[in-house]
């Protein structure tokens, strides 16, 4: 019998788990329930919630039609303006922003109020970054790579008379940003001796999931990665595992599994992307257990 190893970090991170549980708890309390955008990028979970009467608000027009009930925000947070917009509907607002993201909102709010320039290291179109930007009272610069960091550090801030003037800069990062790239960018931003308050706000969940997946795949005869077709973090997990184990499968549910065991497999590894619910992981585990 082969040993089945399921990664402890497979599936939902703390923040997503918390947000999804919040919605189920609100459903129990009753009344019209809305989520501001899909609570998670997993069609099965969203469909299940829909069956329970949870409606996804997809546009400003839909929001304008809401005058009561409960609106729940997503784990990656919203801007201050959106927050105000939701409150203006008169609905009860339940903030399911991940506490790690909320902390970044506070840092940006406080430091911009103190007159610091705000830099976010991350992807400028990601909803988490858009949300963070919205808590600053000064214009924000989003930096994705070392070239942009260099450009930024060479600029003069408005009102400066010479490039040697001191600048006060507060730097935060998108929670899922790559730690090595973050260090490289910080090295450039601190080069000129400006007053740089650097807050590493990267969340370890993604890194831990990837490190554990790699370790399991390196000893597995078969590795299974469960995740949504359009989930980029799942695709990344697959890529990491495939490098370690040629027999790596990328599936959405157990139904996609088409294994042909050679009979001498010792270890079967399982991991899952950030938006894969526990029950889907368990179903795959049970299915595999029956085969090996
Ligand atoms: Fe998840 Fe919160 Fe980290 S949503 S990835 S635990 S910042």
> How many structural domains is the chain composed of?
3
CATH number at residue 55: 3.40.50.11270
pLDDT in tens, the chain (292 residues): 889 999 999 999 999 999 999 999 999 999 899 999 999 888 888 999 999 999 999 999 999 999 899 999 999 999 999 999 999 999 999 999 999 999 999 999 999 999 999 999 999 999 999 999 999 999 999 999 999 999 999 986 655 555 557 899 999 999 988 899 999 999 999 999 999 999 999 999 989 999 999 999 999 999 999 998 878 889 999 999 999 999 999 999 999 998 877 888 899 999 999 989 999 999 999 999 987 7
Ligand 1 binding pocket (C-beta < 6 A) is: 13-16, 75, 98, 100-101, 175-176, 203, 205-206
Note whether 167 and 219 are same-domain residues.
Answer: no
Q: Which of 46, 65, 97 is the last residue of a domain?
A: 97
Residue bearing the CA closest to ligand 1, atom 4: 15
Tokens 């308050």 locate to 197
Given 3-state DSSP classes, what are the helix, strand and coil percentages for the chain, each rounded to the nearest 5?
45, 20, 40
Q: Report pLDDT for 167.
A: 93
Q: Which of 174, 198, 222 is the last residue of a domain?
A: 198
Contact of 202 with 162, CB cutoff 8 Å: no
Note whether 125 and 63 are same-domain residues.
Answer: no
Supply the range of the domain harboring residue 144: 100-198
Q: For residue 23, give Cα distances in angstroms to 61, 72, 231.
A: 22, 7, 22
Note whether 174 and 255 are same-domain residues.
Answer: no
Note whether 104 and 194 are same-domain residues.
Answer: yes
Q: Closest ligand 1 atom, CA of 206?
A: 5
Q: CA 86 to CA 169: how far, in whole Å? A: 31
Residue among 26, 117, 128, 212 flagged as catalytic? 128
Q: Report pLDDT for 159.
A: 56
> Which among 10, 11, 15 is the best mutation to test ligand 1's pocket, defined by most ligand atoms within 8 Å of the CB?
15
Note whether 71 and 151 are same-domain residues.
Answer: no
Q: Report pLDDT for 164.
A: 54
Note whether 108 and 93 are same-domain residues.
Answer: no
Q: Report pLDDT for 119.
A: 98
Q: Which of 198, 226, 256 is the last residue of a domain?
A: 198
How many angstroms is it from 14 CA to the middle of ligand 1?
Answer: 6
Q: Tell me, yes or no, if 282 is annotated catalytic.
A: no
CATH number at residue 209: 3.40.1010.20
Give residue 144's Cα distance to chain centre. Answer: 16
Long-range Cβ contacts of 210-216 (<8 Å, 24+ apart): 210/236, 210/237, 210/240, 212/7, 212/8, 212/9, 212/271, 213/7, 213/9, 213/237, 213/240, 213/241, 213/269, 213/271, 214/240, 214/241, 214/244, 216/5, 216/7, 216/241, 216/269, 216/271
Note whether 281 and 208 are same-domain residues.
Answer: yes
> Which among 9, 11, 16 is the best mutation to test ligand 1's pocket, defined by most ligand atoms within 8 Å of the CB?
16
């Amino acid at each position: 019998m082969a040993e089945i190893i399921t990664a402890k970090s497979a599936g939902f991170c703390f923040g997503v788990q918390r947000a999804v549980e919040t919605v189920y708890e609100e459903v129990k309390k009753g009344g019209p329930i809305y989520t501001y955008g899909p609570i998670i990028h997993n069609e099965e979970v969203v469909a299940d919630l829909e069956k329970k009467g949870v409606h996804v608000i997809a546009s400003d027009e839909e929001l304008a039609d809401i005058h009561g009930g409960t609106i729940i925000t997503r784990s990656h947070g919203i801007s201050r303006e959106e927050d105000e917009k939701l409150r203006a509907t008169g609905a009860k607002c339940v903030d399911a922003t991940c506490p790690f993201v909320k902390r970044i909102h506070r840092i940006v709010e406080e430091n911009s109020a103190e007159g610091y320039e705000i830099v976010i290291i991350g992807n400028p179109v990601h909803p988490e970054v858009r949300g963070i930007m919205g808590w600053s009272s000064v214009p924000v610069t989003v930096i994705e790579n070392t070239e942009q960091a260099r450009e930024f550090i060479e600029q003069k801030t408005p009102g400066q008379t010479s490039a040697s003037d001191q600048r006060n800069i507060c730097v935060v990062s998108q929670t899922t940003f790559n730690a090595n790239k973050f260090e490289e960018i910080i090295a450039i931003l601190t080069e000129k001796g400006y007053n740089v308050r650097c807050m590493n706000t990267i969340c370890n969940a993604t890194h831990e999931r990837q490190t554990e997946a790699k370790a399991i795949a390196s000893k597995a005869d078969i590795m299974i990665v469960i995740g949504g077709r359009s989930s980029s973090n799942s695709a990344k997990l697959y890529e990491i595992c495939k490098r370690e184990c040629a027999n790596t499968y990328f599936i959405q549910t157990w139904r996609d599994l088409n294994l042909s065991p050679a009979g001498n497999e010792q270890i079967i590894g399982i991991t899952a992307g950030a938006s894969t619910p526990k029950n889907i992981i368990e179903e795959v585990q049970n299915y595999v257990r029956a085969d090996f």
